[in-house]
């Protein structure tokens, strides 16, 4: 798919906008889990999440190859949309984002603040994605998927930074939404010739990739019921699934209660705020603490964009 030089070029492009994010070994997380824990802080990007890396790479190519493009339309629960809006503003490309009804109030506000036109449609992400594709065809806009080679190459730059900064990791836990993050980690790991196990994390209430990984083919689910909206996917991407099945060790599922406990642990142990998907890797590590005891483990804190009301009701209310 890509060579190491492609990832390095993408990293150089990303670093024109912001510096590499921190990778920190946190002693309180180590005490909590029994492992040596390194955290990649993608909550410290300009949009508060890792997706901005993919948006920058995607939009740079689009603006270069199609300078007259009328605009971009996509669907999101928040972080993908923020990344496109942020990068679109840099390249003066109009961005329209479709979100499901009842989407995160604060993520919606952030997308508008970055310059996106926001439309609410459908009950969940997959319904919003269908509407975005319809709107693209109707209005002659470029449809930006949530999983595409540009996005994988862009988000793989965090894995490249992480795997070159931290000591050799025995395992790396990565949340799965539509798959760009974990596929980027697998890509970087393989290109660097490392033996790090990549472990995917999904919600018990939205296990489409976990089911598909076990079955060996795409398995859709009728619902995606989780408060961790970054993992609320019903329909896996077949291309992403192929990469995950070839390169991941396993996919772990975690409950919303386990994610809420992990968000609290991040706050108490590191004073970093994690959104649901961002805390899911820590939840999975704590679930597997017996198997990981004494090992060196990487966690991707992929974003910190959690609504205050959700944080209060879900995280603090469950304390």
In angstroms, rounded to a whole number, what is the distance separating the alpha carbons of residues 180 and 167?
24
Backbone angles phi, psi at 25, to 5 degrees: -90, 120
Angle of helix 105-113 versus helix 79-91 axis, rounded to 10: 10
Quickly tell me which residue has 């205050």 as its tokens.
308
Q: What is the mean pLDDT of each run of 10 residues along the chain (319 residues)?
A: 94 98 98 98 97 97 92 92 96 96 91 96 90 95 92 97 98 96 98 98 98 97 93 93 98 98 98 98 98 98 95 86
Q: In the prediction, which pLDDT does 121 show?
A: 95
Report residue 276 as tokens: 């649901």
Nearest Cα neighbor of 311 from 228, 202, 224 is: 228
Q: In the prediction, which pLDDT does 264 show?
A: 97
Please name the CATH architecture into which domain 51-143 falls: 3-Layer(aba) Sandwich (3.40)
Backbone angles phi, psi at 279, to 5 degrees: -90, -15
Q: In the prediction, which pLDDT does 186 show?
A: 98
CATH topology of domain 4-50+149-316: Rossmann fold (3.40.50)
Q: In the prediction, which pLDDT does 146 show?
A: 85
Burial of 112 (0-12, 13-18, 19+ CB in 10 A): middle
Give the dihedral sign, CA 225/154/304/265. Answer: positive
In angstroms, rounded to a whole number, what is the distance separating the alpha carbons of residues 232 and 88?
25
The tens digit of pLDDT for each residue in 163-200 reads 999 999 999 999 999 999 999 999 999 999 999 999 99
Beta bridge partners of 198: 172
The tens digit of pLDDT for each residue in 118-171 reads 999 999 888 999 999 999 999 999 999 988 999 999 999 999 999 999 999 999
Domain span(s) for CATH 3.40.50.1100 in the chain: 4-50+149-316, 51-143
| pTM for this predicted structure | 0.94
């Amino acid at each position: 798919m890509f060579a190491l030089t492609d990832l390095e070029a993408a990293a150089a492009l990303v670093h024109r906008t912001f510096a590499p994010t921190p990778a920190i070994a946190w002693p309180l997380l180590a005490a909590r889990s029994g492992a040596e824990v390194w955290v990649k802080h993608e909550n410290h990007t300009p949009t508060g999440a890792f997706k901005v890396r993919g948006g920058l790479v995607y939009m740079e190519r689009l603006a270069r190859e199609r300078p007259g493009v009328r605009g971009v339309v996509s669907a999101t629960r928040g972080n993908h949309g923020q990344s496109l809006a942020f990068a679109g503003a840099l390249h003066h490309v109009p961005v329209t984002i479709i979100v499901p009804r009842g989407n995160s109030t604060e993520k919606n506000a952030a997308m508008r603040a970055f310059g996106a036109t926001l439309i609410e449609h459908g009950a969940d992400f997959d319904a919003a994605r269908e509407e975005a594709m319809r709107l693209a065809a109707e209005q002659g806009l470029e449809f930006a998927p949530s999983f595409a080679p540009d996005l994988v190459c862009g988000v793989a730059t965090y894995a490249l930074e992480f795997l070159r900064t931290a000591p050799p990791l025995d395992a790396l836990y990565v949340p799965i939404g539509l798959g760009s993050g974990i596929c980027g980690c697998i890509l970087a790991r393989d290109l660097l010739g490392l033996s790090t196990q990549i472990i995917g994390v999904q919600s018990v209430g939205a296990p489409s990739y976990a089911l598909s990984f076990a079955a060996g083919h795409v398995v859709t689910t009728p619902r995606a019921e989780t408060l961790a909206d970054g993992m609320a996917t019903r329909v896996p991407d077949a291309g992403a699934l192929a990469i995950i099945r070839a390169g991941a060790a396993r996919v772990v599922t975690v409950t919303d209660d386990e994610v809420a406990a992990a968000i609290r642990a991040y706050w108490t142990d590191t004073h970093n705020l994690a959104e649901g998907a961002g805390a899911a890797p820590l939840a999975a590590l704590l679930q597997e603490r017996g198997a990981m005891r004494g090992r060196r483990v990487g966690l991707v804190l992929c974003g910190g964009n959690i609504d205050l009301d959700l944080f209060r009701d879900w995280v603090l209310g469950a304390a």
